[in-house]
């Protein structure tokens, strides 16, 4: 991203330890932001600041399960107190528990909804309070192609991502009057640990659906998130930006 386009801004990024989240941290840091990186995996965040080329104090790692409502709310309050403003929230943490609908266990449904959707509600409610008071802020939710189109074997995941799109548009409508924006990015098939775990047959099917004929990279998603997080997108709210090699068109 353009150097200095995020200078002075404070961003919270969830699911920051690896994959797409790590690249979002890198992109925001390169634009000059201070990033509060949140993840379950403390060990995986140990090298984060160095790996993304952050200056001293530019990445502030916090170990947290974002489904913990009290914990996530307290973290936001602590960030607001420490940095005196919160400019960006990226609700990126997400999991899959795939399986065909008629065999899906309640626990797999509930876990995915809680991590992917409920955590974004908790985070948005918590930062919303501060952003409304500041009269500025940008929230970016990590949706998915599956949330737009549905996907066999992903009833829980697709429902969580479709729910995130509803949350995005509602947040955008409720907070626009206070100059707080909310958008979503909908990745297609991106090369990360999440997709590496898929069987080869599923990868082949996904690849055959991509007009640009290759998987995306975490950086492709991070650049779109950084654009929506920055003032470069100051007249954009309530949108779902597909970054998917043309799968959804």
Q: What are phi and psi of 246, to 5 degrees?
A: 95, 10
Q: How far is the CB of 221 from ligand NAD (least distance, A)?
A: 7
Which stretch, 37-45, 76-84, 170-178, 229-237, contacts ligand NAD (CB under 6 A)? 37-45
E strands, the chain, in order:
10-14, 34-39, 59-63, 88-91, 137-142, 180-187, 240-243
190: contact with ligand NAD by CB under 6 A: yes
Q: How far is the CB of 99 from ligand NAD (least distance, A)?
A: 16
What are the tokens at 158?
């697709």
Cα(21)–Cα(41) distance, rounded to whole angstroms? 12
In the list 10, 11, 20, 159, the residue contacting ligand NAD (rule: CB under 6 A) is 20
> With CB under 6 A, what is the number of residues at the site for ligand NAD?
27
What are the tokens at 97?
């528990």
Which stretch, 28-36, 79-87, 173-181, 187-195, contacts ligand NAD (CB under 6 A)? 187-195
* Other C-beta atoms lying within 10 Å of the C-beta of residue 71: 16
Q: What are phi and psi of 189, to 5 degrees?
A: -115, 105
* Other C-beta atoms lying within 10 Å of the C-beta of residue 48: 22
41: contact with ligand NAD by CB under 6 A: yes
In the list 19, 123, 128, 137, the residue contacting ligand NAD (rule: CB under 6 A) is 19
Q: How far is the CB of 47 from ligand NAD (least distance, A)?
A: 13
> Position of tokens 């107190």?
81
123: contact with ligand NAD by CB under 6 A: no
Alpha-carbon torsion (52, 189, 137, 171), positive or negative: negative
Cα(25)–Cα(43) distance, rounded to whole angstroms? 16
Which stretch, 60-68, 74-82, 102-110, 175-183, contacts ligand NAD (CB under 6 A)? 60-68
Residue 30 and residue 231 in contact, taking contact as beta carbons nearer than 8 Å: no
In the list 40, 132, 217, 236, the residue contacting ligand NAD (rule: CB under 6 A) is 40
Cα(53)–Cα(51) distance, rounded to whole angstroms? 6
| Residues 129-168: x where in contact with ligand NAD by CB under 6 A, - otherwise, as a string | -------------x-x------------------------
Continuous segment of H or E residues that includes residue 119: helix 119-134
What residues are labeled active site? 157
Which stretch, 92-100, 120-128, 148-156, 233-241, contacts ligand NAD (CB under 6 A)? 92-100
Residues at the contact surface with ligand NAD, assessed by CB under 6 A:
14-15, 17-21, 39-41, 65-67, 92-95, 115, 142, 144, 187, 189-190, 192-195
């Amino acid at each position: 991203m353009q150097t200095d386009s995020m200078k002075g801004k404070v961003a919270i990024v969830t699911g920051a330890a690896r994959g797409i989240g790590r690249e979002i941290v890198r992109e925001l840091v390169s634009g000059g932001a201070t990033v509060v990186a949140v993840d379950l995996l403390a060990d995986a965040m140990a090298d984060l600041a160095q790996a993304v080329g952050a200056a001293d104090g530019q990445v502030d790692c916090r170990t947290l399960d974002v489904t913990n409502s009290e914990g996530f709310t307290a973290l936001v309050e602590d960030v607001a107190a420490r940095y005196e403003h919160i400019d960006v929230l990226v609700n990126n943490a997400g999991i899959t528990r795939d399986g065909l609908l008629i065999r899906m266990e309640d626990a797999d449904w509930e876990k995915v909804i809680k991590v992917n959707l409920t955590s974004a509600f908790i985070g948005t409610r918590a930062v919303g309070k501060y952003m409304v008071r500041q009269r500025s802020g940008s929230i970016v939710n990590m949706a998915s192609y599956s949330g737009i189109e549905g996907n066999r074997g992903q009833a829980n995941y697709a429902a969580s991502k479709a729910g995130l799109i509803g949350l995005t548009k509602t947040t955008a409508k409720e907070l626009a009057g206070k100059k707080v924006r909310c958008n979503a990015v909908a990745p297609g098939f991106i090369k990360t640990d999440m997709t590496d775990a898929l069987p080869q047959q599923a990868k082949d099917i996904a690849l055959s659906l991509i007009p640009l004929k290759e998987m995306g990279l975490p950086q492709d998603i991070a650049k779109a998130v950084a654009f929506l997080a920055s003032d470069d997108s100051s007249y954009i709210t309530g949108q779902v930006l597909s970054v998917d090699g043309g799968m959804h068109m």
